[in-house]
Amino acid sequence: MADLGERLNVSLAAAGAAGAWDWDIEARLLYFDPRLAALYGVDADRAAAGLPTETFFAAIDPSDAPRIRIAVAGMLHGAEVFLKTYRLIGDDGVVRWVEAHGRCHYDANERPIRFSGILIDVTARRRIEERLRIAQSAGGVGTFEHVPGFGTASVSEQFCRLLGLHSAAVLPVATINACVEQGELLDAEDHPGSAVEYAEIRIRRADDREYRWIARRGEAIRDNEGAGMRHVGVIYDITESRRAQEQLRELNETLEARVEEEIASRKEAEDALRQSQKMEAVGQLTGGIAHDFNNLLTVIIGNLDMAMRRMSPEADDRISRALGNALKSSERAASLTQRLLAFSRRQPLDPKRVHLGRLLEGMNDLLTRTLGERILFGTRIAPDLWRVEVDANQLENAILNLVVNARDAMDGSGRLTIVAANERVMAPAAHMAIDAGEYVAISITDTGSGMDEATIGRAFDPFFTTKEVGKGTGLGLSMVYGFVHQSGGDVEIRSVVGEGTTIRILLPRLHGAHGDGEEQPAPEARQGRLSETILVVEDDEDVRAYAVESLTELGYAVLEARDAHHAMDVLRHSGKSIALVLTDVIMPGMTGRELAERAQVFSPGLRILYMSGYPRDVIVRDGRLESGVDLLPKPFTYQALAAKVREMLDD
């Protein structure tokens, strides 16, 4: 017997057993072998003689003890197999994981008489399992083990987490497959020879109902006899990978369209750059000739006007007609220069706060006469139209230009409609030169011949026209384009050949009560008084002579100076009280602006009126006259000079 006991101990040690117990149910005594007695810290002789049954629970971790007590109670009342894993706190204080394998023995009457078994130390295995669980959790990998056709499957904690299920070691297969949108994750039925193939499966998580994609990998393992089969495998989330694949697929499918869109966008940007460079070139050319050309036109227009005023009623009609034709052609030349300056955004603007509704209403009669009786004309003006800050005279010219173009496109009959409304631009088109914001839109729509894409692309080019030779300068739309852009807005064309054209002007909304108030009618020209002395400063002798003679004719006392330095000498030594200085802007040595600053130091409050055909940036900032600056544009007529001077002196 001693040899048998020794062999039993060797076998138990080899199997990793921590010891064995034998529970005499009828005697209510518990027997430990020496290994288990040592683990519990009980004397081996006492353990062999019998211990109180409560000793069995003494070393069990308090967290595990309740469930073990319940399991043991079940054994004592007829259960046959006892298999539990729990923590045991040894006499040395070390916590060990043990696996208890026990069995009940019965007498002839089927009453339980003995409960015996062994404890196996599984601490090392549990540590490996915990490391594996942590690795699986960190890697997002869940594991499963399932026998096809069996109703439950062994799963890991991460497996449950991926499917949004409550954590459990064993789950019903139906519960697992209920999370799958289509098909099955685990085989619910036993299919002979079935395998665990790689699959990408769309699931809907049980907790938050979120759709996700998981991948399943595994293998089918047969038992030793080759009859039974179990599936062992892993699952992991591939949602982000699937999304990336879908995005890549969409990108590939739309690549051609996006390339075309990018090319079109780049072409628009290149066209806009070319247009800007073209406009800059025209501006430099125009600015270079505008100053001298407008001086010449001032002399020509002024003297023609003077000749017509002084011509006697008895003069030959042919002379009167010749002078009138010369004056008309000179005014057309002046208009041509102004349009070039407008297109290149180099004309000085005098913006004021403007109510576009009133401005359009004021133009109604003029536009009706311009269009003629065969063209139906109407306007639709929003009642709550926002204010804008714009040069009203230039805006009227722009609208008149567009209306004349529309009339010609309709060949004298059709319908023209002007609509003014508030508009919020959220995302401007690529070809537009404005930012998102609030604008007032003026749309001029005709039922004329319309334009094709090629014509629209060149419509704003200077000197481009579809009219017959001699019937158009090709600067009307160019002037509109330059003026609107200089005012901070934009203009666009929408046209269909054979149906008509809509040209839209967008002007930025004026916030607050800025500006000098609504446009006021120009004051009437009135005669001056000899008591009012005006100093004329102009380096061009012919222009100076015309201005001096006109002011003298108007009744003013006039002094003259050939340049700014000469003007300062006149101011210091003339001995007269000078009421107004009428000065050119661009002069050799000293500009008109510098003269004004020095003159007002010498004579505070002295009124300054500039005259210029192209003031550059001397009195202009960002295309607008500086605050407090008064300008008489060249070329000017006798009436314009008289009205502006009187306005300044009466202010």
Q: Hey, what domains does the chain have and what are their CATH numbers?
A: 2-121 (3.30.450.20), 126-237 (3.30.450.20), 352-508 (3.30.565.10), 533-650 (3.40.50.2300)
In one-letter notation, the amino acid at residue 166 is: H
Mean pLDDT of 418-429: 84
With a cut of 80, say whether residue 430 has pLDDT above it.
Answer: no
Which two three-digit tokens encode residue 506? 């967008």
Q: How distant, in Å, are the alpha carbons of 160, 317, 565 from that of 334? A: 87, 26, 30
Q: How distant, in Å, are the alpha carbons of 72, 127, 169, 303, 600 from that of 155? A: 27, 18, 5, 106, 96
Range with the poorest average pLDDT among 3-7, 89-93, 485-489, 633-637: 3-7
Looking at residue 551, its pLDDT comes to 93
Which residues are paired to 329 by β-bridges?
Answer: none
Distance CA 174, CA 195 (A): 19
Bridging pattern class, strands 211-222 and 199-204:
antiparallel
With a cut of 90, say whether residue 424 has pLDDT above it.
Answer: no
CB 456 within 8 A of CB 508: no
CA torsion, points 522, 524, 525, 531, in degrees to nearest 10?
Answer: -100
CB 18 within 8 A of CB 35: yes
Tell me the percentage of the chain whose pLDDT exceeds 90. 19
Mean pLDDT of all residues belonging to the chain: 81
Helix axes 239-310, 317-343, angle to 10 degrees: 160
Which H helix or E strand runs over 322?
Answer: helix 317-343
With CA atoms as reference, report the closest residue to 457 among 272, 286, 276, 279: 272
Q: Please give the span between the terminal C-alpha atoms of the chain, in angstroms, as a whole number.
A: 137
With CA atoms as reference, report the closest residue to 250 among 261, 242, 239, 260: 242
Mean pLDDT of 620-632: 74
Band the pLDDT of 275: cuts 50, 70, 90: low
Mean pLDDT of 115-131: 82
Looking at residue 568, its pLDDT comes to 92
Range with the poorest average pLDDT among 14-18, 229-233, 361-365, 535-539: 14-18
Q: With 0-12 CB in 10 A as exposed, 13-18 as middle and 19+ as buried, what is 259?
A: exposed
Tens digit of pLDDT for each residue in 323-337? Answer: 888 888 887 777 666
